[in-house]
Amino acid sequence: MKNDYMIKFGVSGNSNSFYEDGFSSTIDAAKWCKSKGLDLYEYSFGRGIKMRDQTAVEIGNEFKLYNIEMSVHAPYYINFANSDPQKIQNSLMYVINSLEKAKFLQAPRVVFHTASQGKMSREEAFNLTKLNIMLLMEKIAEKGYTDFILCPETMGKVGQIGTVEEIIEICNMAPYFYPCVDFGHINARERGILNTKKDYQLIIDKLLDNLPSQKVKYMHIHFSKIEYGERGEIRHLTFEDKKYGPEFEPLAEVLYKNTLQPHILSESDGTQAEDAMEMKKIYMKMLSK
């Protein structure tokens, strides 16, 4: 493959097939992912950070050995639009502790959800989010974590902070903020806007017009089909779904056309590995045309 078009594909967490193959611990996922032809693995601390440092070092070494690049997902409880100072301290710690574990895992990227709107107006919630993200930037500098890439994510529920525009604004606050563009979330939040190449290109153009090109070229992508309703995201689906979408094929063409080299993680419900392999297959097939 021409280097200009290299895209890495991988899984968020362990898929059902990993367990069906008789494995239960993440340290075995490195070799397993390699055997599937995958390049990336995202470890989720979504429900809390419970991993011991020593375990993180061992897992990190194993993934290094198999050349599978790790990333970390910070806890879901982060909310930088909270007016309670104690809750803000907690949110800061969730990100900082994720970065610390990422260091032991040798994971260069940490993905995080920024905030929920709650009962505030959108403007009030977003301004508070940015104010507290400035506190986060101070903490990151203090701890010497500025070499990591931190990826604020576009979100699927209407009540969450994380439209494409909001994520662009946050990414412009520091050189180490790169977007985590979750196309399933965008499609769910806007109830089915991603259908054609043109639809995807509009999102890419918005990013390219407003961010340094490196941040778009090497952005983080979450991709899965997601069921949605009036308030946006309801649940993650698998590639078996034919109703909600979005479809990966048009995105593959748009990524190629714009010579983007993102990290793409499948967040399918249980079929992450199969769906990541499917995306890689679609992309490679398109390259060979």
Least separation in angstroms between CB 278 and Zn ion: 21
Give the nearest distance from C-beta 111 to Zn ion in angstroms.
6
Which of 162, 245 has the CB closer to Zn ion?
162
CB atoms within 10 A of CB 53: 12
3-state SS record for 126-183: HHHHHHHHHHHHHHHHHHCCCCCEEEEECCCECCEECCHHHHHHHHCCCCCECCEEEH
Structure tokens at 158: 């209407």
Alpha-carbon torsion (115, 267, 265, 56), positive or negative: positive
Stretch that binds Zn ion, among 19-27, 92-100, 149-157, 240-248 (CB under 5 A): 149-157
Q: How far apart are CA 86 and CA 36, in angstroms?
A: 44
If the CB atoms of residues 158 and 287 are measured against Zn ion, the closer one turns out to be: 158
Q: Interface with Zn ion by CB under 5 A: which range of 102-110, 146-154, 171-179, 251-259? A: 146-154
Residue 125 vs 151, nearer CB to Zn ion? 151
Q: Which candidate, 171, 168, 216, 163, places its Cα nearest to that of 187?
A: 163
Rounded to the nearest whole angstrom, what is the least distance from the CB of residue 153 to Zn ion in the complex?
A: 5
Q: How far is the CB of 149 from Zn ion (least distance, A)?
A: 15
Write down the least CB distance from residue 221 to Zn ion, Å: 12
User: What is the smallest separation between the CB atom of 12 and Zn ion, expressed in angstroms?
Assistant: 8
Count, residues near Zn ion per rule CB under 5 A:
1
Distance of CA 90 to the CA centre of its chain: 21
Residue nearest to Zn ion (CB): 153
Count of helix runs (H) and strand runs (E) in the chain: 11, 12
Question: Smallest gap, in angstroms, from Cβ of residue 113 to Zn ion?
Answer: 6
| Residue span 17-36 as binding mask against Zn ion, x where in contact by CB under 5 A, dash where not | --------------------
Q: Specify whether the CB–CB gap between 12 and 254 falls below 8 A.
A: no
Q: Which CB sits closer to Zn ion, 72 or 254? A: 72
Binding range to Zn ion, per CB under 5 A, among 133-141, 145-153, 199-207, 268-276: 145-153
Residue 216, classed as helix, strand or coil, is: helix
Tokens representing residue 61 in the block: 């070494």
Which region, judged by CB under 5 A, interacts with Zn ion, from 10-18, 120-128, 148-156, 207-215?
A: 148-156
Question: Which one of the spans 93-101, 136-144, 150-158, 255-263 is the region binding Zn ion (CB under 5 A)?
Answer: 150-158
Cβ partners under 8 Å of residue 3, min gap 6: none
**Site for Zn ion, rule CB under 5 A:** 153
